[in-house]
A and B are shown apart, each in its own frame.
Chain A
Amino acid sequence: MATTAASTPGAPKPAGPAPAAGRQVTRRPTPARVRFRRLLVSVGNHSVLLGVSIIFMVPIVFMILTALMTDRQALSTQLWPHPFVWSNFVQVFRSIDLARYTWNTFVYAGLSTLGVVISCIPVAYAFSRISWRGRNIVFLLVLSTLMLPNQVVSVPLYVIWARTFHDLTGIQFIGTLKPLIIPNWFGDAFSIFLLRQFFMTIPKELCDSVRVDGGGHWQILRRVVIPLSKPAIMAIALFQFIYAWNDFYNPLVYVGESPTAQTLSLALSNFRGMHHVQWNLTMAATLLFMIPVVVIFFLAQRVFIEGVTLTGVKG
């Protein structure tokens, strides 16, 4: 508690016995006793946080170490690679078609992200910059779909893709990436919500100025809303990309066993089945699977933290 109070400049110190005329004496040098206590509290704090940090990093460290072991060593109790087998990262591309799976995952994540961005911007615009009767009720409907368990729709959707859409178009959908990508081109509730929250904050005068110039909704979107909302658009794009990259349930249902359309998550979940004991290769592949996520995370940490905060605090 001492540290928090100390971070408030000029605040009366609650820690020491505050004299009656506390206001005048706030700037006197802190007594050694108080300073020592603060130091102790701070050291205690940091050691707990450091401890937790180390525990949080342990899985990553062991993943890296195991990825560098020989397969026999990975099954032993030794924890430090001896020798370091860097070739595991090459080997893993030979033992499974990792390049293809990476490409598939990239196609799914990339195209679904593009779809979400393109389809959600106009929808969020209609929910935030135009007032029309029933807007709030329809928006509530959008939000309520967030609660809908994926399983409720995935069971019939599987059949719809396999039968109805297949019969209508003659295109094979099940076993390909199409059922994963296409729905994302028709709006996504979470992204619509996030964008709408952001669009609401744009001053009305800016949109009006476009109107005065004779511009319609398209002009307002292009000249005001989109340029001003780049951070929010970036946020939904990154969230969608990571969501699709990590997604397991949808590929499992719609792609299934198809060897050509496997995504990384799908391939990895079966990896152990194929290679019983090759933990080193499993970890190497897992690491490769995680690297894009980690890189994106570090490049755009702010965006994620702000996005998560926005959904949590305002939602």
Chain B
Amino acid sequence: MSGTPGTTDGAGPEAAAGAGPAPAAKPAAGLLGRRSPEDRRRARRRAALRKYGAVLLLLSPWIIGFVVFTLTPMLISLYWSFTHYDMASTPRWVGLDNYRFMFGIGKIHGIKAADPYFWTAVKNTLWIIVFGVPLRVLFAMGTAMLLTRPKRGTNAYRTLFFMPSMAPKVAAALVFVYLLNPTTGPVNQLLNMIPGIHAPLWFYDPATSKPALLVLGLWGVGDAIVIYLAGLLSVPRELYEAIAIEGANTWQRFRNVTLPLITPVIFFTIVMGVIDGFQYFDQAYVAGNAVSGGQTSVLGSPQNSLLFYGLYLYEWAFRNFAMGYASAMAWVLFGATMTATAVLLLTSRRWVHYGGGT
């Protein structure tokens, strides 16, 4: 900050306007240079006030939005998580009962009670994260590395790979339910041509419904490919030249130059993948809806194999209107997301190399 208050902190015009006319308005103060410390302090305070006023005004959309649409709902939801609330009557305090019921520990009113599908939903969600995230990372990284090689056509390939990731998830899920139809779908027709192969039933079999979602997930991997491509292209060329002079082979080059320099990108895609994985929803809703048949859709079909955490929470909240229990589930989800992110951040110190290219 320079001598005059406010000029460098962006309140320049206000500061000038605030400090400037003040002495002029008071002829008694006389010459400009001989303002009393009292005057100067007052001017400075007024400038600061103006600046913070301006900041508050500029931030006001976000402040209102944060208080009304984030903070208040969060606090309400935290409170509800300790209550029984079905929207018909006022919330009734039940202590930790919702959490006991969720995890199936302890007794509620002396009776042992547990949510029958909570752990199913947890397992399914962990499954899609544990298999989905690494698969996405490896596939995106591999494809991006292939894309850095050709002299021509990189942009065309990139467009083709990227486009499906913009497609609505609902649309993508519908298309894949059709493509992976066990009898009439083109994929199984192709697989059936290969002798000795039993084409899977995909979304119609609990054993293969989640792998089918992985296939669907890979179709939308294009955004990650674009990020990896940018990361790979930002690796300074001199490093490759340097290691080539040392006589390194392709693997050594990847291991010692490429990989360390794109660890920030890998880290970012893993964190985003995990956060998204915890909230996995659209695809499972649509696929389960499509295969459950009948007029009433059963969430998580077939046989709860696609019952993911977000889906199950939705069912409790908006089909059963158990707002208290759903709030408890939401807070557990929030806690899990925070914990996973924190753990990833802590481990990242060991393997993520910042600085350099980007």
**Chain A interface residues (CB < 8 Å from chain B):** 1, 3-5, 7-8, 11-12, 14, 41-42, 45-46, 48-49, 52-53, 56-60, 62-63, 66, 75-77, 79, 119-120, 122-123, 125-126, 129-132, 138, 141-142, 145, 147-160, 162-163, 183, 185-187, 192, 207-208, 211, 214-217, 242, 245-246, 248-249, 252-253, 256, 264-265, 268-273, 276, 279, 282-283, 286, 289-290, 293-294, 297-298, 301, 304-305, 308-309, 311-315
Let me know if B286 is at the binding interface, CB within 8 A: yes
CA of A273 to CA of B290, assembled, Å: 7
Residue of B61, B77, B167 near A156 (CB, 8 A) is: B77
CA of A279 to CA of B286, assembled, Å: 14
Q: Report B-chain residues with C-beta under 8 Å of the C-beta of A269.
A: 170, 285-286, 289
CA of A162 to CA of B10, assembled, Å: 43
A79 to B161, Cβ gap below 8 A? no
With A130-B51, A130-B54, A157-B73 already in contact, the answer to whether A49 and B157 are too (CB < 8 A) is yes
Closest residue of chain B to A5, judged by CB?
B244
A159 to B337, Cβ gap below 8 A? no
Measured CB to CB, the closest approach of chain A to B199, in angstroms, equals 12
Interface string of B88-112 (1 = CB under 8 A from A): 0000000000000000000000000
Partner-binding segment picked from B30-38, B129-137, B204-212, B276-284: B276-284
Kindly list the 3 A-B residue pairs having the minimum CB-CB distance in the complex, ordered from nearest: A186-B65, A312-B227, A187-B62
Let me know if B68 is at the binding interface, CB within 8 A: yes
CA of A76 to CA of B186, assembled, Å: 10
CA of A60 to CA of B333, assembled, Å: 35
| Count of CB-CB pairs between chains A and B under 8 Å | 306
Measured CB to CB, the closest approach of chain B to A277, in angstroms, equals 10
Known: A130-B10, A308-B227, A309-B227. 17 other contacts (CB 8 A): A3-B149, A46-B150, A59-B172, A125-B58, A126-B58, A149-B279, A151-B326, A153-B69, A158-B318, A186-B68, A248-B168, A248-B286, A249-B281, A252-B314, A271-B174, A308-B223, A311-B227
B226 to A309, Cβ gap below 8 A? yes
Closest residue of chain B to A271, judged by CB?
B174
A152 to B80, Cβ gap below 8 A? no
Let me know if B352 is at the binding interface, CB within 8 A: no
With A153-B70, A248-B282 already in contact, the answer to whether A286 and B174 are too (CB < 8 A) is yes
A151 to B330, Cβ gap below 8 A? yes
A273 to B330, Cβ gap below 8 A? no
Q: Report B-chain residues with C-beta under 8 Å of the C-beta of A62.
A: 175, 178-179, 186
Interface string of B165-194 (1 = CB under 8 A from A): 011111110111011000110100100000
With A45-B146, A53-B161, A246-B168 already in contact, the answer to whether A149 and B334 are too (CB < 8 A) is yes
Measured CB to CB, the closest approach of chain A to B261, in angstroms, equals 11
- Cross-chain pairs A/B with CB under 8 angstroms, 22 sampled: A8-B237, A53-B160, A56-B160, A129-B10, A130-B11, A131-B9, A149-B334, A150-B279, A151-B330, A152-B74, A154-B317, A155-B80, A156-B77, A208-B12, A270-B289, A283-B174, A289-B170, A293-B166, A298-B159, A301-B162, A308-B227, A313-B358
In the complex, which of the residues A152, A158, A297 has the most CB atoms of chain B within 10 Å of its own CB atom? Answer: A152
Measured CB to CB, the closest approach of chain A to B228, in angstroms, equals 8
Measured CB to CB, the closest approach of chain B to A254, in angstroms, equals 10
Let me know if B59 is at the binding interface, CB within 8 A: yes
A155 to B330, Cβ gap below 8 A? yes
With A131-B10, A132-B52 already in contact, the answer to whether A253 and B318 are too (CB < 8 A) is yes
B80 to A156, Cβ gap below 8 A? yes
Let me know if B347 is at the binding interface, CB within 8 A: no
Let me know if B4 is at the binding interface, CB within 8 A: no
Q: Report B-chain residues with C-beta under 8 Å of the C-beta of A58.
A: 179, 186
Give chain B's interface secondary structure class.
helix
Let me know if B118 is at the binding interface, CB within 8 A: no
Residue of A59, A120, A314 near B164 (CB, 8 A) is: A59
Closest residue of chain B to A182, judged by CB?
B69
Interface string of B40-81 (1 = CB under 8 A from A): 000000000001101101110110111011101110110010
Let me know if B122 is at the binding interface, CB within 8 A: no
Closest residue of chain B to A79, judged by CB?
B186
Q: Report B-chain residues with C-beta under 8 Å of the C-beta of A268.
A: 170-171, 174, 286
Measured CB to CB, the closest approach of chain A to B142, in angstroms, equals 9
Residue of A45, A142, A249 near B149 (CB, 8 A) is: A45
With A49-B150, A185-B61, A248-B285 already in contact, the answer to whether A282 and B66 are too (CB < 8 A) is no
Closest residue of chain A to B85, judged by CB?
A159
A14 to B290, Cβ gap below 8 A? no
B184 to A155, Cβ gap below 8 A? no
With A1-B250, A279-B178 already in contact, the answer to whether A216 and B69 are too (CB < 8 A) is no
Closest residue of chain B to A144, judged by CB?
B338
Measured CB to CB, the closest approach of chain B to A7, in angstroms, equals 6
Let me know if B259 is at the binding interface, CB within 8 A: no
Let me know if B158 is at the binding interface, CB within 8 A: yes
With A12-B245, A268-B171, A269-B289 already in contact, the answer to whether A149 and B62 are too (CB < 8 A) is no
With A119-B61, A186-B62, A248-B285 already in contact, the answer to whether A315 and B153 are too (CB < 8 A) is no
Measured CB to CB, the closest approach of chain B to A40, in angstroms, equals 13
CA of A125 to CA of B56, assembled, Å: 12
